Each structure stands twice: as C-alpha cells, then as structure tokens.
Amino acid sequence: MIDEGEAPQPGALEQMDLFTDYQALEQKRAEENQELSRENQRQKAVLEIKKKFGKNAILKGISFTEGATGRERNGQVGGHKA
C-alpha cells in the first residue's frame, strides 16, 4: 500500500490534437479535482468523528432497519462473538 501522494497521476502525458477543446477539458478536470477534494474532506471528517465518538457515531441508515446487524457487529471483537 502506498501513500496517496506517491501514486502516479493518471493522464499526466497527453497527445494533443486539433479537434479537442482543451479549455473545456481543463475546466472538467478542475471540477473533478474540486469534487475529489470535497470527498476527501468528507471522508476525513467521518473518520475524525468515528475516532472521537466511536464506531457507532456515524452509520448508514440501513443499519437501523429491522434485522440489521451493523451496530451489533461494531461492538463485537473482529465482528464475531467472542
């Protein structure tokens, strides 16, 4: 497993042509990078909340339905009854 910063960036080199709108392509890439940055911030926030308040602090809604085992499994050792 490598750090995110050490991973090779896809599309670093690109063959240019006369038919591609590079301004639109650059704008699309900027929007994708911004969305990726927001997603990283959300993931970090969720991890910090779970670290501070425990595994059951943030759960998906499906974990609260009848028969769901997510909340129970979080309290068990390795997800199993010990």
40 confidence band (pLDDT: 50, 70, 90): very high
- Whether this model's pTM surpasses 0.85: no
Q: Which residue has the tokens 């990078």?
A: 33
Average pLDDT across the chain, whole number: 84
pLDDT tens digits for 47-64? 999 899 888 888 877 777
**Of the candidates 69, 78, 77, 75, which has an alpha carbon nearest to the alpha carbon of residue 55?**
75
Residues 6+ apart with CB under 8 A from 82: 76
